[in-house]
Structure 1
Amino acid sequence: MALDLSSLPVTNRKIIPVDFIDIMGHMNVMWYIHIFDHGTRNLFNRFGFGEEYIQRTGMGSFALESHIRYLAEVKLGEAVTVRSRVLDRSAKTIHFLHFMTRDHDESLAATIEVLGAHADLTRRKVTPFPPEVLVQLDALLNVHRQLPWQAPVCGFIGVRKN
């Protein structure tokens, strides 16, 4: 079944500026991470794990692992949209996938699959998500688990079930 990204939340939009373009005439790989990172922040805001939460609690997130696929060139002036899907979680970790599409033809330009963790920023240690975040995270996860298509994951990243 084809990917129907329209059911996923938009977590970032960007028009590609000149300083994102490298000598090959397309967006440099470091800017994909930048654009996806803003998508992560906006995704996390959806389940109460945003900047306000970080400042109030001293808790945040660590990226543990990621896998990027580059599927189509992105060039100067193109508009891109990032949509995000939560795949799984444990008490301390979250597995999610971002999709970057080019707005002019809706083609898939890149994906990034990420395993992240909830962290105590004072102790610099991974720690369980609090219940108030899990309630909202699980609501979004349950919606995404109902999607009729399989997420195109790499097969190496995932939540450990203990």
Structure 2
Amino acid sequence: MLETYRGVVYPHQLDHMGHMNVQWYTSKFDEATWHLFSSVGLTNEYMVKNSCGMAALEQKTTYEAELMPGDLVCVKSEVLEVKNKTLRFKHYMYNTETQALCATTELLAVHLDRIKRKGVKLPEFVSQSVLLQEA
């Protein structure tokens, strides 16, 4: 798996029960997503130049262990499936100091034409990049 995020839990990210609120899990996973996309060639430069983008179609998150203020966080990611227009991938969030798995999220995203606002075929280099990462 590829490391796609590294950060820390800040006090302003807590909910009224004293642990990291679910919105921040989603935020950290979202930042990891852009690093994962870039690693397979779906860079910001590519998206701007080609008027393309990626949009989430499905997301399933599981919470395994609480994260508290000051906890160091690492997200590792993997591509599970590349289809014609879609990419399925999974993120794993760990407490860096304890190595405990804290949360996972699996997403299905579609490659889209931002002008036509519809799904379009993923470029061939995405599949090739995924195969290289698996080797």
In the superposition, the TM-score normalised over structure 1's length comes to 0.80
Displacement of 1:96: 0.6
- How far apart in 1 are the matches of 2:113 and 2:131? 21
TM-score relative to the length of structure 2: 0.95
CA displacement at 1:17 relative to structure 2: 1.1
Structure 1 stretches lacking a partner, 5+ long: 1-7, 147-162
Cα shift readout 1:94-119 (whole Å, capped 9, x = no counterpart): 11110000012100000000011111
Amino acid at match of 1:115: L
Q: How far 1:132 moved relative to its partner?
A: 3.0
Q: One-letter code of the match for 1:32?
A: Y
> Where is the strand percentage greater, Structure 1 or Structure 2?
2
The match for 1:83 among 76, 86, 105 is 76
- The residue that corresponds to 1:136 in the other structure is 129
Distance 1:40 1:134 in 2: 17
Residue 105 of structure 2: aligned partner: 112
- Structure 2: give runs of 5+ residues left out of the alignment: none
- Cα deviation for residue 85 of structure 1 reads 1.0
Q: Any idea what the Cα deviations from partners look like across 1:7-60, whole Å, max 9, x if unmatched?
A: x11000111111111110000000001000000000011011021111111101
> Which aligned pairs between 1:56-75 and structure 2 lie closer than 5 A?
56-75=49-68
Alignment partner of 1:36 is 2:37: no
1:51 equivalent to 2:44? Answer yes
Partner of 1:4: none
Partner of 2:90 in structure 1? 97
Q: Deviation at 1:89?
A: 1.3
Is the contact between residue 78 and residue 89 of structure 2 (CA under 8 Å) also seen in structure 1? yes
Structure 1 runs (4+) greater than 2 angstroms displaced: 131-135, 137-140
Task: State the shift of 1:134 in Å.
Answer: 3.2
Please provide the CA RMSD for this pair: 1.2
- Aligned-pair identity in percent equals 36
- Measure the CA separation in 2 of the matches of 1:119 and 1:139: 24
Write the letter of the residue equivalent to 2:51: G
SS at 1:37 equivalent: helix
